[in-house]
Every structure is written in structure tokens, then in C-alpha cells.
Amino acid sequence: MDRHSSTTQSDLERMLWDEKVEPKALPLSLLEDITNGFSDEREIGRGGFAVVYKGMLENGEAIAVKRLSKTYMYEKEFLREVECLIKVKHKNVVRFIGYCVDSQGRADSYNGKFVMADVLQRLLCFEYLPHGALDQYITGDIWHRNSATAKSHTVLTYTVLAS
């Protein structure tokens, strides 16, 4: 991924109001900016393979930034997931905004040797759903606090499609 990719916050803002814009490759620096460097206070959830952060744009809109864990690094699976996410477009499925693959060399000592290690990061970005995940509605955790919306159901729908 090109760290100097030209996608900016205003491109992301435009993507959010124009549903016709296709998902894009996003630079890691942009995702770091909008999540305060993936800070703890921006964490909104954790799944089996990822930590999800709330990314805040300058216009006050939010997106969900899913940073995949180091154990979920198989290139073929990631590529297949991105391919499925790009193809699936439905009003009840959370909108896929873009993806990021970033690799950076880091010099470090390993087993007494000085080595250059590749540090790989993979991230997926989605429209932000403010009402939580479907499983909380099914189990009754938040059924009485909020009324379920079609969009709030889509976190789980997406998971089913992607697995």
C-alpha cells in the first residue's frame, strides 16, 4: 500500500454521502489520524480476529476501522474477504468503505542477530453503525434500551457473509 496515497479525510467524507463511490485503498496514516493512533478510548469492539475503532472525520461523521490481528494475516483469505466485501452491496448490509495493507521494515535484534523485520498491518473500514451488534438484540442485552434498526442488524449479516 502506498503510504502517500492521495485519499484524504474529505475523500472519505464524500464517500459517506455518495453511496456510488466504490471502496478504496486507504493509507495507514489516514486511519491512524482519525482513530487517534488506534487509541483505547476509540475502541468500540473486539471480534475473534480484530479490534474495531471509531474513526472520527472532521465533519463529525464516523467510520468503523477494523484492525485485523496478527494471527489473521493469510494473504489469500484477506484478498477473498476484500473481494466479497466489494461485491456485496445491499441496503441491509453494512457498507464497505475501504481497506488498507501496510508493510514497514523494522530493524530489531532477534535470537542475538540484528534483523530487518516486516511489520504487516491489514485493516478494513465500514460505515459506522451506532446501535450495536445484532447479537446484543437477540440475547436481549440492549433490546429494551434501543429499538433495533435494519442497519444495526448488518454487523452480524456481514460476519455471516464473510465467514
Ligand X SMILES: Nc1ncnc2c1ncn2[C@@H]1O[C@H](COP(=O)(O)OP(=O)(O)OP(=O)(O)O)[C@@H](O)[C@H]1O
Please name every residue paired with 9 in a beta bridge, in sequence order, or none if there are none: none
Query: Per CB under 6 A, does 100 bind ligand X?
Result: no
Mention every residue, 6+ apart, whose C-beta is less than 8 A from residue 80: none
Query: Per CB under 6 A, does 97 bind ligand X?
Result: no
Judge whether 87 is annotated as a binding position: no
Query: Per CB under 6 A, does 60 bind ligand X?
Result: no
Binding-site member from 2, 48, 113, 116 for ligand X (CB under 6 A): 48
Query: Per CB under 6 A, does 126 bind ligand X?
Result: yes
Query: Per CB under 6 A, does 157 bind ligand X?
Result: no
**Sheet containing 50-56: order of strands:** 24-25, 96-110, 113-127, 62-68, 50-56, 43-46
Do 94 and 151 touch, CB atoms closer than 8 A? yes
Give the relative orientation of helices 75-87 and 154-162 as an angle to the nearest 10 degrees: 130
Output 108 or 135, the one with its CB closest to ligand X. Answer: 135
Binding mask 14-33 toward ligand X (x if CB under 6 A, else -) reads: --------------------
Binding-site member from 52, 65, 82, 97 for ligand X (CB under 6 A): 52
The grid coordinates listed for 68 are 485485523
Determine the straight-line distance between the first and last CA of the chain, rounded to whole angstroms.
Answer: 25
Element at 110 (helix H, strand E): strand 96-110
Output 64 or 110, the one with its CB closest to ligand X. Answer: 64
Query: Per CB under 6 A, does 89 bind ligand X?
Result: no
Q: Select from 4-12, 23-31, 112-120, 125-133 the region that touches ligand X (CB under 6 A).
A: 125-133
Interface residue list for ligand X (CB under 6 A): 44-50, 52, 64, 66, 94, 126, 128-129, 132-133, 155, 159
